[in-house]
C-alpha cells in the first residue's frame, strides 16, 4: 500500500485527523443548494457514476470522488449499496494506493462473475521523468457484501495507434461467453473512437479485438469518446457514450460535451445504428452508465452525472461539486429510447396537491417538489423562484421548442461561457414533468420522450411561480434519501 500525497493527487488515506470533518462543516454551511433526494458527495467533487451492478439482491453504485475540495484532484470510487434507491449504505471504496493507479482511479464498469463483483477501471498514472500520462486498465474484485478483496493491473499503456487517452472500461459478456470490455479512446490522429478487448476469464490477459465501428455517427471534430456502454434493451443493441469535440448546434449538442445513444444491431464489432440521439438536452448531463446484472428485457436503469467536465459551480466555495441524476428507467418506444425516473421515485411521492395556476402562485417547498401538468401542445411560459434581486428561472414552449433560460440566475464565468439557454425540440408537447431539488431541475417531456437536466442557483428564492396562462399542476414531494456509514 502506498499513501499518495502530492498536491491535488492526495489519497483519502493521507487525510489528517479531523480534516474531512472540517471540510464537511464547510459543506453544511450551504443552506441554499444541497439536494434533498439526489445523491451528492459528502465532501469535495463527484463526477461520473461507475461500477453500476445489480448483484441479484441489491444495487452497487460507485462514483468518481475527490474528497478534499471541489476540484478534479485524485479520483477515488465512492461506494454505496441500496435495495430501494432511498436508503444507501456505504461499503468499501476503491482508493488509489498502488503504482498502477498513482494519480487516481478513473472511470469504469462492473460485471458479476460467479459470486464476485469484477470492477474494471482505468488507473491514471504519470511517468516521473516527463509527467507523461500512462494509462492502465485495472481489475478490482469485491464480494457481494461490498468488501474489496483484491486489485491488479490488466493492461499497461495504450495499444499501438492510440494516444494516452484510453480509459473507462465497461465490461459485458459476449455471445461466446467470454468477457469483453469496451474503452473510450483517442487515435494517434486525435480522433475519438472506442476499442474492444476480450478475455477468457478474470485470470486471463486481455486481447485487443479492434475498434467498435459506428459509421452512422458524424465523428467530425470529435477528439475523444468517453464512458462507453454496450448493452441490450429488449431485442435491440444500445451503445451509450460521451463524445468530446462535436460541433454545437442550435437545438441539440448545445453543451461543450454530450451524452449520446445509438440504437440498432451489433454485428461483431460493427454497430448498425437506426437511431442516434442525445440522451439529455439540459445544461448539465454527462457520462451516463447503466446497471449490469439486469435482464434488460423491457428496460434498463441508468445514472448520469449532473455536471460537465471543465465547469465550475457556485457551490464550489462550499467545497462540494455536482450530483447524480435520479435513477432512470430506459425503455424502447419505436426506434427511440424513452427515459423517466424509476417507479420507486414515483412511489415515494407524498402530499399530492392540485393547483390551478395563472399569474403568480405560491407553492410550499417548491424547490424540492415534483410538478406535472398537461399543455395540449400550446405555448406557455413559467417563471420560477423570483427573489428580491430579480433572479429567476424561465421555462417556455413555443413553436415546437421547449426552452430553459437561466440567464437571470447566479452563474460562474465558465457556466456563462456556454450560453444561458437550452432548447429541446418536442413537436407535440402534451405532458411536462419537473423534479426540483434545491439547485437541480430534471425535466421529462411526454412520459420520457425527451429529457433536460440542469443546475440552477438562486439564493433566497421565493417559493412561487408565475404562469402566462391557466394550467393545472399536480404537485407532490419525493422522499429524501438517507445514508448510513458515511
Handedness of CA 50, 51, 53, 59 (dihedral sign): negative
To the nearest 10°, report the CA torsion of 342, 347, 350, 355.
70
Largest CA distance in the chain: 67
For residue 201, what is the enclosing H or E element? none
SS (H, E, C) 87-136: EEEECCCECCCCHHHCCCEEEEEEEEECCEEEEEEEEEEECCCCCCEEEE
- 64 touches 50 (CB < 8 A): yes
247: how many CB neighbours lie within 10 A of its CB? Answer: 9
Between CA 67 and CA 24 the distance in angstroms is 10
| 403 strand-pairing partners | 396, 423
CA 349, distance to chain mean position in Å, is 23
CA 403, distance to chain mean position in Å, is 22
* Nearest CA among 172, 174, 175 for reference residue 183: 172
CA distances from residue 228 to 31, 128, 170, 259, 261 in whole angstroms, order as listed:
36, 30, 7, 10, 10
CA 450, distance to chain mean position in Å, is 16
343: left (phi over 0), alpha (psi -120 to 50) or beta: alpha
Q: Catalytic pick from 32, 48, 218, 270?
A: 48
For residue 248, what is the enclosing H or E element? none
| 305 strand-pairing partners | 286, 324
- 446 touches 429 (CB < 8 A): yes
Residue 267 annotated among the catalytic residues of the structure: no
* Nearest CA among 407, 403, 387 for reference residue 395: 403
- 369 touches 351 (CB < 8 A): no
Q: Give me the sheet containing 224-233, strands edge to edge.
A: 224-233, 236-244, 260-267, 270-278
For residue 24, what is the enclosing H or E element? helix 19-27
Between CA 402 and CA 383 the distance in angstroms is 14
Residues catalogued as catalytic? 48
Amino acid at each position: 500500500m502506498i499513501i499518495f500525497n502530492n498536491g491535488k493527487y492526495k489519497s483519502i488515506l493521507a487525510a489528517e485527523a479531523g480534516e474531512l470533518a472540517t471540510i464537511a462543516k464547510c459543506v453544511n454551511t450551504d443552506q441554499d443548494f444541497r439536494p434533498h433526494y439526489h445523491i451528492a458527495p459528502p465532501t469535495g467533487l463527484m463526477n461520473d457514476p461507475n461500477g453500476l451492478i445489480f448483484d441479484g439482491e441489491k444495487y452497487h453504485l460507485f462514483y468518481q470522488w475527490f474528497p478534499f475540495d471541489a476540484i478534479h484532484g485524485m479520483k477515488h470510487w465512492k461506494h454505496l449499496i441500496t435495495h430501494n434507491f432511498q436508503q444507501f449504505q456505504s461499503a468499501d471504496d476503491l482508493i488509489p494506493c498502488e503504482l498502477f493507479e498513482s494519480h487516481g482511479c478513473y472511470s469504469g464498469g462492473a460485471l458479476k462473475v460467479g459470486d464476485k463483483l469484477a470492477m474494471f477501471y482505468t488507473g491514471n498514472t504519470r511517468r516521473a521523468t516527463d509527467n507523461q500520462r500512462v494509462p492502465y486498465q485495472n481489475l478490482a474484485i469485491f464480494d457481494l457484501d461490498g468488501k474489496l478483496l483484491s486489485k491488479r493491473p490488466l493492461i499497461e499503456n495504450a495499444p499501438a495507434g492510440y494516444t494516452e487517452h484510453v480509459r473507462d472500461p465497461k465490461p459485458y459478456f459476449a455471445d461466446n461467453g467470454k468477457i469483453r470490455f469496451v474503452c473510450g479512446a483517442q487515435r494517434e490522429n486525435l480522433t475519438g473512437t472506442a476499442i474492444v478487448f476480450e478475455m477468457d476469464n478474470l485470470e486471463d490477459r486481455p486481447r485487443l479485438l479492434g475498434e467498435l465501428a459506428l459509421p452512422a455517427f458524424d465523428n467530425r471534430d470529435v477528439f475523444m469518446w468517453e464512458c462507453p456502454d454496450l448493452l441490450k434493451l429488449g431485442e435491440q443493441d444500445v451503445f451509450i457514450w460521451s463524445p468530446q469535440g462535436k460541433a454545437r448546434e442550435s437545438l441539440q449538442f448545445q453543451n461543450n460535451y454530450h451524452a449520446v445513444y445509438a440504437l440498432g444491431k451489433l454485428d461483431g464489432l460493427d454497430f448498425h445504428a437506426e437511431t442516434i440521439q442525445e440522451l439529455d438536452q439540459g445544461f448539465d448531463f454527462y457520462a451516463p452508465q447503466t446497471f449490469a446484472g439486469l435482464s434488460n428485457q423491457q428496460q434498463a436503469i441508468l445514472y448520469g452525472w449532473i455536471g460537465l467536465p471543465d465547469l465550475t459551480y457556485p457551490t464550489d466555495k462550499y467545497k462540494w461539486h455536482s450530483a447524480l441524476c435520479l435513477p432512470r428507467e430506459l425503455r424502447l418506444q419505436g426506434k427511440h429510447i424513452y427515459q423517466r425516473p424509476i417507479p420507486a421515485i414515483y412511489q415515494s411521492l407524498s402530499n399530492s396537491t392540485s393547483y390551478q395556476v395563472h399569474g403568480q402562485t405560491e407553492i410550499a417547498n417548491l424547490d424540492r417538489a415534483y410538478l406535472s401538468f398537461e399543455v395540449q401542445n400550446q405555448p406557455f411560459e413559467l417563471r420560477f423562484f423570483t427573489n428580491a434581486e430579480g433572479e429567476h428561472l424561465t421555462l417556455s414552449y413555443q413553436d415546437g421548442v421547449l426552452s430553459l433560460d437561466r440567464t437571470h440566475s447566479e452563474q460562474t464565468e465558465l457556466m456563462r461561457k456556454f450560453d444561458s439557454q437550452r432548447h429541446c425540440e418536442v413537436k407535440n408537447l402534451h405532458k411536462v414533468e419537473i423534479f426540483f431539488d434545491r439547485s437541480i431541475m430534471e425535466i421529462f417531456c411526454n412520459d420520457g420522450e425527451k429529457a433536460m437536466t440542469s443546475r440552477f442557483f438562486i439564493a433566497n428564492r421565493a417559493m412561487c411561480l408565475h404562469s402566462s396562462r391557466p394550467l393545472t399542476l399536480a404537485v407532490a414531494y419525493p422522499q429524501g434519501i438517507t445514508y448510513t456509514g458515511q
